[in-house]
Amino acid sequence: MHTFLFRTILAAMLALAASAGGIAAARAESAATIPVLAPLTGFLALEGASQRNGALLAFHHHPSIVIRSETVDTGTSPEGAVNAFARILRTGPPTALVAPMLGTQMLALLPAAAEAGVPLVTVSGTAEITERGNPWVFRFFPGDAVVKTAQARYTVEELGRRRVALVHQTTAYGQSGRRHLLAAFAGLGAEVVFEEALAPAVRDMAPVLTKLRAARPDVLVLQLHAEPTARLIRQAAALGLGLPIVAGSAMHQPATAALLEPAELSGVCAESGASPISGGSPAMDRWVADYRARFRTEPDAFALAQYDGVSMVLRAVRAGAASGAEVRRRLASEVYEGLAMAYRSDGRGNMAHDAVILCYDGRDRTPRVVRRYVDVLKNG
């Protein structure tokens, strides 16, 4: 009896050990190296912090995968991103890279990523990054071809405005948006009666507001980064400009709205890929609550898109993708149902194809989604 019991216990222990070994092996196979490169200082710091937070929350929500990561502040220079990437490569190519959302940094990274075989997972809106035929870039925020089309359509079709004043940034982001906005407004039969490019460092918006008022537009359209967006809207309210404002995605950010008083936001709308704080589903509400608890701040569409992008990478890792090439193949060929939308590559690395327009009513800093555009370029 004792011999039988001993053998039974021994067999059970051996089976448990084998099972534990199998689990350990499976866990070892589900491992990934995913550094986070983001502009955490400079004029894109608000957007960069959201990008970083979205990636970190995705790591946190996938505890079964052993993730090796470090966060690097790339500042706002192309050299900052390239040097950070070169340093990371010294320890071997990562499984994927959370790549900075600043367009000039992304453009600088493209050749190095292709040479090293590293998928770049980004939320940069600059259109050109997916126009160079690089198979290693994957954009999870809708690019300018998508959101600028939605921005122009809402301005003309919903607001009925056709005399446009366009103020944009001198950066790659600003120039990319300008190009797509001009084409979209021309296609809709609207006239751009005033246009001005501003450097991110410009603080006094009164001169440009005075000039654009003289052109007698019936709407002001913005393609500016977060802090310049807030500065211009604040001064437009102070000067009593009296025009509806349809801004770029920087204005959807709670961090941008926090720079303004609710009354200053009256009549302001913005394009975006999503608006997490505006709600939409129980899953979204849980994600927003978790984000707030973890980072003590409000989430935006950049954070959500980066979360969805990293989550798609981690799904590939969990399914057995152990190299950058295997992750790239899955990102290029699979569909992922994220929190914001369904993501699929268009063959050039554009993964996000939907857009929303959200507006503020002047009573608080929480916008409401007033229009959704699904598969914009296909249904436009």
Helices within 160-205 (DSSP H only)? 172-187
Model pLDDT for residues 309-362, shown as the tens digit of each residue: 999 999 999 999 999 999 999 999 999 999 999 999 999 999 999 999 999 999
pLDDT above 90 (res 182) = yes
For the chain, what is the mean pLDDT? 92
What local confidence, expressed as pLDDT, does residue 339 receive? 96
pLDDT exceeds cutoff 70 at 293: yes
Taking only the tens place, the pLDDT of each residue in 141-179 is: 999 999 999 999 999 999 999 999 999 999 988 999 999
Alpha helix (H) residue ranges in 215-268? 226-238, 254-257
CA distance 60 to 300: 18
Q: Does domain 32-142+279-352 have CATH number 3.40.50.2300?
A: yes
How many CB atoms within 10 Å of residue 220? 26
Domain ranges of the chain: 32-142+279-352, 145-278+356-379
Q: How confident is the model at residue 380 (pLDDT cuts 50, 70, 90)?
A: low
Query: Strand order in 355-359's β-sheet?
Result: 191-198, 163-169, 219-223, 245-247, 268-272, 355-359, 368-373
CB 129, CB 342: distance < 8 Å: no
Say whether pLDDT at 4 is over 90. Answer: no
Rounded-to-integer distance, Cα 80 and Cα 356, Å: 32
What mean pLDDT is predicted for residues 239-262? Answer: 96
Taking the CA atoms of residue 236, residue 237, residue 240 and residue 242 in that order, the dihedral angle to the nearest 10 degrees is: 80
pLDDT grade for 17, boundaries at 50, 70 and 90: very low
- Percent of the chain scoring above 90 in pLDDT: 88
Residue in the structure block whose two tokens are 């999870």: 140
User: Is-same-fold flag (32-142+279-352; 145-278+356-379)?
Assistant: yes
Among 313, 355, 346, residue whose Cα is nearest residue 330: 313
Q: What is the pLDDT of residue 29?
A: 52
Band of residue 20 on the pLDDT scale cut at 50, 70, 90: very low
CA 220 to the chain's CA centroid: 24
| pLDDT greater than 90 at residue 15 | no
Backbone angles phi, psi at 67, to 5 degrees: -115, 120
Report the pLDDT value the prediction gives residue 332, as an integer from 0 to 100: 98
Least confident of 87-91, 123-127, 207-211: 123-127
145-278+356-379: which CATH topology?
A: Rossmann fold (3.40.50)
Range list of H helices, the chain: 2-29, 45-60, 78-89, 103-116, 144-153, 172-187, 206-214, 226-238, 254-257, 282-295, 301-318, 324-333, 376-379
